[in-house]
Amino acid sequence: MTETRVIRVMAVDDHPLMMAGIVGEINAQTDMHTVAEANDGDEAVALFRKYHPDVTLMDIRMPRVNGIAAIASIRQEFPHARIVVLTTSAGDVQVVRAFKAGAVGYLLKNLLRTELLETIRLVHGGHKRIPPEIAQQIAEHATDDSISTRELDVLRGVASGNSNKIIASDLHISEHTVKNHLKSILSKLNASDRTHAVMIALKRGLLDM
């Protein structure tokens, strides 16, 4: 295998054990090699400029600059960058955000052992990759009414364990308005109560706690 055919990969993850496993798996292959390792979004952007990897594996939840923000920065500067999101979350909202930012692949961390290498080769070949279970989630919620920014603010307050009174005070709105927002949230998320709404929001990636 000549050097020109080797897929040059950058891995971005703030967990040392996860990084070691990813890098070890990649470097054990004859057709790919890790050229850079980053621990946060800022470092990822800087190293991308330096190494121009063929494929970038990007964790979403990282300190300072998260993965989605880093993807957007890289794609703005390098429109043809091929970036695969690595995450523990299968939430459809988070997936849509990642692809809008410029990702071309989405890989759940519990599937790394079986699908990492195939995903790298697929994306390097110019294809996109969305796991079937995530594609199904996106399809199921495609026609849902979106949660507004203010409703999301209220939902964050609920997730923090705050009462309607505290949420109203924090957001400088009335308790009556908070109750109206909660009614709308429950309807849009098809939730039975406020706790159920938070659980759904976390699962779908609307909230990142």
Give residue 29's identity as a one-letter amino acid code.
Q
Tens-digit pLDDT profile for residues 35-83: 999 999 999 999 999 999 999 999 988 777 788 899 999 999 999 999 9
Domains of the chain: residue spans and CATH: 3-140 (3.40.50.2300), 149-204 (1.10.10.10)
Q: Is the dihedral of CA 194, 199, 202, 203 positive or negative?
A: negative
Task: Specify the pTM.
Answer: 0.71
Cβ neighbours of residue 103 under 8 Å, at least 6 residues apart? 58, 71, 83, 84, 85
> What is the spatial distance between Cα 120 and Cα 111, in angstroms, rounded to a whole number?
13
> What is the spatial distance between Cα 205 and Cα 26, in angstroms, rounded to a whole number?
29
Q: What is the pLDDT of residue 6?
A: 93
How much of the chain exceeds pLDDT 90, in percent?
A: 60
> What is the spatial distance between Cα 154 and Cα 156, in angstroms, rounded to a whole number?
5
Q: What is the pLDDT of residue 42?
A: 92
Q: What is the pLDDT of residue 4?
A: 52
Tens-digit pLDDT profile for residues 135-169: 776 776 666 778 888 998 999 999 999 999 999 99
Q: What is the pLDDT of residue 3?
A: 47
